[in-house]
Amino acid sequence: MAQAQAPPEELLPVYFRNPFDASEVFAFPPGTGQSEARDAVADLLLKRARERLSALDRPRESRPPHGQGGPAMTAQNSADPPE
């Protein structure tokens, strides 16, 4: 019986784990270098942090009161069946 060969490394996606949240893993196209992936993740995380910071900088009056101002969102466990 012939063994299945692993695909060449250049055909595999490149994965880079968020250093601040191990549950978040970013996937990049095959051939992406580790330093290129690291830089892209760093850029994305900085952008995300700036967006969160700017949302906090808005005056309180322009933000809806807690629990209001948007559609309700409920987290659902993946083990729970959809309703």
Q: Is the pLDDT of residue 28 over 50?
A: yes
Q: How many Å apart are CA 64 and CA 79, to the nearest integer?
A: 32
- What is the signed CA dihedral for 38, 44, 45, 51, rounded to 10 degrees? 170
Q: Is the pLDDT of residue 72 over 60?
A: no
Q: What residue ranges do the domains of the chain occupy?
A: 10-62
Question: Which is more confident, 14 or 56?
Answer: 14
pTM of the model: 0.57
* Two tokens, residue 77: 């466990």
Residues 66, 50 contacting (CB under 8 angstroms): no
